[in-house]
Amino acid sequence: MKHTSMQLVSVIVPVYNEIDNVELMYNELIAAMQSQPRPFELVLVDDGSRDGTTERLDEIAATDERVKLVVFRRNYGQTAAMHAGIQNAGGEYLVTIDGDLQNDPKDIPMMLEKLDEGFDLVHGWRKNRKDHLLSRKIPSRIANWLISKSTEFPIHDLGCTLKAMRREIAQQIELYGEMHRFIPILAHQLGARSVEVVTHHRARKFGETKYGLGRTFRVVLDLITVNYMIKYFSSPMKLFGKLGLWIGGAGLLSCVTAVLMKLMSGTDMTGNPFLLLGILATILSVQFFSLGLIGEVCARIYYTSEHRTNYQVRDLVNFNSPDLIKISRRSA
């Protein structure tokens, strides 16, 4: 299905202490967006800058009504900035891009054409990345390989901020922590039709990078969360019940071993490691089953509140009931 109507495009740009880049970024974005036929707006999110970036953005917004400015009281991080941009964007097509000029705005028209072809999400691949090898490129390749294997979602570059997506998909994705880098995976979970395209990448000219090796640990923790959300969020008992069964089985085997040792060789049960292991495993098994039950109750509460569902409806055909349309819009 091909969409050819001229959708309003919202370009969302998280910015943090980029005073030397914002003017150049604005000019390049305007030039790139004017090279394509769709109407557009720029949603610039100032993530608590302290170097004069806020004042510079105010000056730009005062001269161009297409610029929408969201200013945070303090630095909350890129995920929060991107979430705020998505929530305040008015376009049907949303584009996210870094404000450090390393992503090339000239790639945006090509990505928008992919949305016109029927894709829901287009995410960039910095194939020829212009970053430091040891501190950025190698850790990124390892992380992308690990994430791709653990989530079973084939992708080369989760760290690329340059993405284009449909509004209905973007607003369903819950962003917190460092989750912005997992947008393609979270969108895929919602049934989005995604495609990865090679985009240009440039070396940073001004300012300092906000990323370092220390962020790797937070990404790993968020990866665990994402895996849980993908596989077990709607039915936690599948995870905790499985763990409870395995541990309970190991506990039962340990107890049987301790009894056999007593019957066959008269081994003293006091302090028998197999008996102690069996008791501990039984306690842990009960705890995991309890966590599973509590998780199931929480999942039911989550889905029944505000009519959420654990499935996504792309479209409804020949349904004229207002109630059905209202429910489908909430869940789709």
CATH code, domain with 143: 3.90.550.10
Q: What is the mean pLDDT of residues 195-222?
A: 70
* Residue 278 domain flag: yes
Between 139 and 299, the more confident residue is 299
In a domain, 20, yes or no: yes
**The domain boundary residue, chosen from 188, 210, 231:** 231
Least confident piece of the model among 82-96, 183-197, 259-273: 259-273
Do 182 and 268 fall within a single domain?
Answer: no
Amino acid at 39: P
In a domain, 309, yes or no: yes
Name the pairing type of β-strands 194-198 and 121-125.
parallel
Total Cβ atoms within 10 A of residue 181 = 24
In a domain, 2, yes or no: no
For the chain, percent of residues with pLDDT exceeding 70: 79
Q: Which residue has the higher pLDDT, 177 or 47?
A: 47
Task: Return the pLDDT at 140.
Answer: 66
User: Helices marked H in 127-174 — which ranges?
Assistant: 138-151, 167-170
Q: Note whether 218 and 246 are same-domain residues.
A: no
Is 46 part of any domain? yes
Domain boundary among 191, 214, 231: 231
Residue 320 lies in domain: 237-331
192 domain residue, yes or no: yes
Weakest mean pLDDT among 107-116, 228-237, 277-286, 323-332: 323-332
- Residues 6 or more apart whose Cβ sits within 8 Å of residue 211: 136
Q: Residue for token digits 């985009």?
A: 199
Question: Are 97 and 180 within one domain?
Answer: yes
Both 72 and 41 in one domain: the answer is yes
- C-alpha triplet 66, 72, 76: angle, nearest 5°: 125
- Domain ends where: 186, 215, 231? 231
User: Is residue 215 domain-shared with residue 265, that is, in the same domain?
Assistant: no
Q: 199 and 285 in one domain?
A: no
Out of 88-92, 195-199, 233-237, least confident range: 233-237
**Burial 18-40, CB ≥16 within 10 A → b, else e:** bbbbbeebbebbbebbeeeebeb
The pLDDT of residue 102 is: 87
Burial class for 284, CB neighbours closer than 10 Å (0-12, 13-18, 19+): middle
Instruction: Find which of 52-56, 182-186, 211-215 is predicted with most confidence, using mean pLDDT.
Output: 52-56
Is residue 82 situated within a structural domain?
A: yes
In this structure, the answer to whether residues 30 and 166 fall within a common structural domain is yes
If one counts the domains in the chain, the total is: 2
pLDDT band (50, 70, 90) for residue 216: low
Q: Which residue is associated with the tokens 């190698």?
A: 138
Which H or E run includes 328?
A: helix 322-331
pLDDT above 60 for 312: no
Tell me the residue length of the chain: 332
Residue 301 confidence (pLDDT): 77
Say whether both 187 and 152 belong to one domain.
Answer: yes
Q: Same domain for 43 and 185?
A: yes
First to last CA, the chain: 18
Percentages (nearest 5) of helix, strand, coil residues in the chain = 50, 10, 35
Angle formed by the axes of helices 22-34 and 108-116, nearest 10°: 40
The span from the CA of 99 to the CA of 76, in Å, is 16
pLDDT value at residue 209: 60
State whether 271 and 125 are in the same domain: no
Please report whether residue 1 resides in a domain.
no
pLDDT over 50 at 145, yes or no: yes
Residue closest to 160 by CA, chosen among 171, 144, 142: 144
Confidence of residue 252 (pLDDT cuts 50, 70, 90): very high
Query: Do 291 and 272 share a structural domain?
Result: yes
Per-residue pLDDT, 25: 92
What is the rounded average pLDDT for all residues in the chain?
80
* Of the candidates 140, 113, 112, 115, the residue with the CA atom closest to the CA atom of residue 201: 140
User: 194-198 and 163-166 as β-strands: parallel, antiparallel, unpaired?
Assistant: unpaired
pLDDT band at 96 (very low <50, low <70, confident <90, very high): very high
Residue type at position 277: L
The DSSP annotation for 225-274 comes to HHHHHHHHTT-THHHHHHHHHHHHHHHHHHHHHHHHHHHHH----TT-HH
pLDDT at 38 over 50: yes
Q: What is the pLDDT of residues 285-295, one digit of tens each?
A: 999 889 888 88
At residue 232 the predicted structure's pLDDT band, cuts being 50, 70 and 90, is: confident
- Sorting pLDDT into bands at 50, 70 and 90, what band is 263? confident
Q: At residue 217, does pLDDT exceed 90?
A: no
Residues 259 and 318 in one domain: yes
How much of the chain, in percent, has pLDDT values that exceed 90?
A: 27
Q: Which H or E run includes 122? A: strand 121-125
* Distance from C-alpha of 156 to C-alpha of 210, rounded to nearest angstrom: 21
Spatial neighbors of 162 by CB under 8 A, at least 6 apart, are: 95, 96, 97, 98, 103, 107, 108, 111, 123, 124, 199
| Higher-pLDDT residue of 261, 312 | 261
Average pLDDT, integer, range 65-88 = 88
